[in-house]
Amino acid sequence: MAATPILLYSPSTICSNRFTDNGLGPLPPSNEKGFSHMCHEYLLTIAIPTYNRYRYVKELIPELLNQCDEADPGADTIEIVISDNASTDETGDYFRRLDHDRIAYFRNVNNIGADANFIECVKRGKGKYIWLFGDDELLCPNSVKNVAGILLKYDIALLITESAFKESRYFESYSDALKYSLKIDRLFPVVHTLITANVFLKQIFDIDFARTHLPTNYGHMYGIMNGLRHGGVYVCGKDNKIIKIRDIRADFHDPLIDIEKKLVKYVCFVGNTFNCWPAKFNVWYFYTIKNKIKSSATYNKFRKYRKKVFSLLKPASK
């Protein structure tokens, strides 16, 4: 096999041809600024943004490659894109040593921040669908094969890989998915803000809108939100587990995670919030607030910041 390409950061070329699917709603016109123009060479791009996570990627990548090779032996349906945010550990050396045609390794000259690196993953991917995959997550058995099978079977704009559903389910729209899921789990809109929980049609990703919400660590969600009115949604349930989330996050333990279920009752869910243009998801703004507070918090200061969070949120109307 040829050596894995080592590529430096540069603006991606915009391709003029676009992909359209029967069954999807009206898509943004090809000259609309911001939306990702299509140049499909693969069904799926598994894009991993990373920074100084050698100890995790060396565990993830072998399993990911094995699953991709099983699901796509010819390496013509699934690609893996690595967007290294100028790591200073052994990450770069690790990927240089790899010899696999399926992997395209990109290294940013400078650390451009997490959100901007998410956007670069989308731009660099050549798949019809993009699966942003956290470098500290793990795969369940047959996950890649199952995801690819769903993407081939359904005309969808979004595949959500993590939920509290007992059984996987297809919805004709994201609005329908929300109406159903909020009856089961009010944390559903929060759970799938995890980057690995979303496999989305590249064509719906609005790069410009995502850039207007930097830095929040939710640039990927702002990128897809305007496009969620297009096409169906498939939600994986407990009958089709796709990802394994580490019990302890890679770099920190966020004490606010321990009270998410207490905080969520203070978040107002408005019916038309999820259908407006551009969409504005109150729960994302809530978590943006939480993220900013978290950045300066330590476990010992937790009570102080918890009080601040509650003071910023209004109780949900009954």
What CATH number has the domain bearing residue 176? Answer: 3.90.550.10
CB 17 within 8 A of CB 129: no
User: Has residue 290 got a pLDDT over 60?
Assistant: no
Residue 287 lies in a domain: yes
Rounded Cα distance between 182 and 204, Å, is 24
By CB atoms closer than 10 A (0-12, 13-18, 19+), residue 36 is: buried
- Establish if 63 belongs to a structural domain: yes
Q: Which helix (H) or strand (E) holds 169?
A: strand 169-171
Does 140 reside within a domain?
Answer: yes
User: Six-digit token pair at 292?
Assistant: 């900013």
Domain boundary pick from 230, 247, 264: 247
Domain boundary among 218, 247, 276: 247
Which residues touch 112 (CB under 8 Å, ≥6 apart)?
9, 85, 86, 120
* Residues 212, 73 share a domain: yes
Instruction: Answer yes or no: is 61 within a domain.
Output: yes
What are the C-alpha distances in Å from 153 to residues 147, 149, 168, 237, 263?
10, 6, 14, 17, 38
- Looking at residue 134, the DSSP 8-state letter turns out to be -
The answer to the question of residue 100 being in a domain is yes
pLDDT, greater one: 188 or 155: 155
The count of structural domains within the chain is 2
Q: Do 241 and 263 reside in the same domain of the chain?
A: no
> What are the pLDDT digits (tens) for 38-96?
557 899 999 999 999 999 999 999 999 999 999 999 889 999 999 999 999 999 999 99
Q: How confident is the model at residue 212 (pLDDT cuts 50, 70, 90)?
A: confident
Residue 21 has pLDDT above 70, yes or no: no
pLDDT at 70: 95
Residue 113 is part of which domain span?
6-247
How far is the C-alpha of 240 from the C-alpha of 162, rounded, in Å?
9
Q: Which of 247, 262, 279 is the last residue of a domain?
A: 247
- Strand 127-132 and strand 42-50: the pairing is parallel
Q: How far from each other are the two terminal CA atoms of the chain, in whole angstroms?
A: 61
Tell me what percent of the residues of the chain surpass a pLDDT of 70: 65
